[in-house]
Chain A
Amino acid sequence: MSNRSRISHDWWAVIAALAAVVLVKAGILPNIPW
C-alpha cells in the first residue's frame, strides 16, 4: 500500500469518528446501546 493511501485511510477514520461525535452531541444519535 502506498503511504498516500495510508494517510487518507487514517483521515477518513478520523472524519467518520468526528461525524459520529457531532451526531451524538447534537442529539441525532441520542442513545447507542451495547
Chain B
Amino acid sequence: MSGHLSIQVKDVKSTLDAIVAYIVLFSMLFASSFVVLPSVGLVEVYQNSLLRAAIVTALALGVVFCYARFRANEALHVGLLNAKESVLTALLGLGVWLLVWVVFGRLTGTYGFVLEPTRLLLVPLAFCVGLLDGLIVYAYSAERFVAGIGTTLGIFLSSLFGWLLFLAVSVDFAFYVLPAVLMLTYVGVKTKSPVGPTVVMGLLMAFFYIYFAVSPWMVGSRQIGYLLMTAISAVSAFVAGLVLTRFSLGGGLYGRDSAA
C-alpha cells in the first residue's frame, strides 16, 4: 500500500475501539435475526423490524458505553459544549440537502414523496432508532475512527457502518439517505459535537420511514430511477457540505478551526 492509496493509521487502539463498537452492534443484530417475532399484519412486520433495531441498538450502546469506560476510562463523547452550533449546523445541512434534492425531483419530475400510511404510527419508534444509531455513530465511533485513521477515512467508514442500520430497517430508502448520513458525520466531526447529527439522524429515519421517494418512471427503467435518486442525493449532500463550509454559525467560522 503505497502512493495515493496509502492509509495512514495514526492510532491502532482508537481504530479498534470503533470497530469493536460495530462488531458489538452487528453481532447482536445477527443474533436477533434468529428471534422470530409474531406478526399478524403489515403493521406488526414494520413494528417488529423497528423494535428489533431499537432494542439491539440500545443494548449495543450500553455495551459500548461499558467498553469505553473499561478500556479508556472515559465515557461516550457527548460534546454538549458545542451542542447548539452542532444542532443548527446539522439542521442547516439537512435543509440544504433536502431542498436541492426535492427541488430537482419536482422540477424534473424524476421523483416525488409518497406516504405509506401503514407506517404512520411508527414515527416515534423510527425516530428512536435513528437517535440510538446516531449516538453510536456520532458520539463514539466517528470520533474513534477519526482519531485512528484520519478525518476523511474516519468519516467515510463511520458513516458507512452507521448507515447499515438504515439498510437493516428498510432498503426502500436507505440507499439515497447514505450521502446525508455522510454529510452529518462531517458536521459531527467538524463541530466536535454529536448532538446535532444524532437528532437529525432520528429525523431522517422517522421521515423516510413513512415517506418514500418514488420515481414515476422507475417501473419502466427498473433500477435506474433509484440509482439516479441516489446520485442526485450525493450531489445535494455535496452542495450542503459546500454551504456549511462557507457560512458561519453561532459566531464561529464553521470548518475553519478543525484540521482536515
Q: Do A and B come from one complex?
A: no
A interface with B by C-beta (< 8 Å): none
